[in-house]
């Protein structure tokens, strides 16, 4: 059945579309996101190989250009020029929502500053998925993203989070998760912490407890996948120290 143009208006020329893509499970992409990727003139991707696989999975063929941390400033100029000529551009990252601890923020800011139209096509976001299933308070939260690599800068930022009244949300790699838990044990020894990893995938797992309990639980385990780490406020009710993982 043909789509009703009144329900699904065509894309607007000269618009940068911020398109959220799956964080693991390919089913987690919206119908609107797929239509936007089909109808745009070009897709700007963090990794063209990765995005190419996603597009092929859904039978979409589009020209791709790359933008990432080290070329985002230069590539922004090209994207602005294309938008100014009336092209419709879909902006994606490897997973999740562009600009959220991923490239995209600089491109989006450049488009806004140039007076061009920017439209969000919302969808998956790892920290939102983790927060809603964590069991920690969601009425107020503070998203940090990845901590700095240097120990002094990490410690300073964690100490600043002591003043946050809601749940603090961080990202961390599996290579530094033990270090982060030790830092949390120094800064928030009595707080409730939730570790979420492999979100939306087959081996999705939530671990809950104090930093010390989680450190003990991790000994002898090799964990893969990036973590969403959530630190509850002082008033958070203590959840049971259990593993919530897929069988």
Total domain count, the chain: 2
Q: Which residues of the chain have pLDDT under 70?
A: 1-6, 236-247
Tens-place pLDDT, residues 55-90: 999 999 999 999 987 888 889 999 999 999 999 999
The CATH code of the domain that includes 108 is 3.40.1010.10
Q: Are residues 134 and 112 in the same domain?
A: no
Tally Cβ neighbours within 10 Å of residue 235.
7
Q: Are residues 141 and 196 in the same domain?
A: yes
Give 152-202 as a DSSP string. Answer: HHHHHHHHHGGG--SEEEEEE-TTTHHHHHHHHHHH-TTS-EEEEESTTST
What's the pTM value of the predicted model, to 2 decimals?
A: 0.89
| Boundaries of domain holding 195 | 126-245
Q: What is the pLDDT of residue 73?
A: 80
Looking at 87, 121, 155, the residue that finishes a domain is 121
d(CA 247, CA 241): 18
């Amino acid at each position: 059945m043909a789509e009703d143009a009144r329900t699904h208006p065509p894309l607007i020329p000269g618009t940068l579309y911020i398109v959220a893509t799956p964080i693991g499970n390919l089913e987690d992409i919206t119908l609107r996101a797929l239509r936007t990727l089909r109808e745009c003139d070009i897709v700007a991707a963090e990794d063209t190989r990765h995005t190419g696989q996603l597009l092929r999975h859904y039978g979409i063929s589009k020209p791709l250009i790359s933008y990432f941390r080290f070329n985002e400033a230069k590539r922004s100029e090209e994207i602005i020029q294309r938008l100014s000529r009336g092209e419709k551009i879909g902006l994606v990252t490897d997973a999740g929502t562009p600009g959220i601890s991923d490239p995209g923020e600089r491109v989006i800011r450049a488009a806004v500053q140039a007076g061009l139209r920017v439209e969000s096509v919302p969808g998956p976001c790892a920290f939102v998925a983790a927060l809603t299933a964590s069991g920690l308070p969601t009425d107020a939260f503070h998203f940090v993203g990845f901590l700095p690599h240097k120990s002094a800068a990490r410690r300073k930022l964690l100490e600043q989070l002591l003043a946050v009244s809601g749940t603090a949300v961080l990202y961390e790699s599996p290579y530094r998760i033990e270090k982060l838990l030790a830092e949390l044990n120094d800064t928030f020894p009595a707080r409730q912490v939730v570790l979420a990893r492999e979100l939306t995938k087959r081996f999705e797992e939530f671990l809950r407890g104090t930093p010390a309990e989680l450190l003990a639980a991790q000994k002898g385990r090799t964990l893969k996948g990036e973590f969403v780490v959530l630190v509850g406020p002082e008033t958070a009710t203590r959840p049971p120290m259990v593993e919530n993982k897929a069988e």
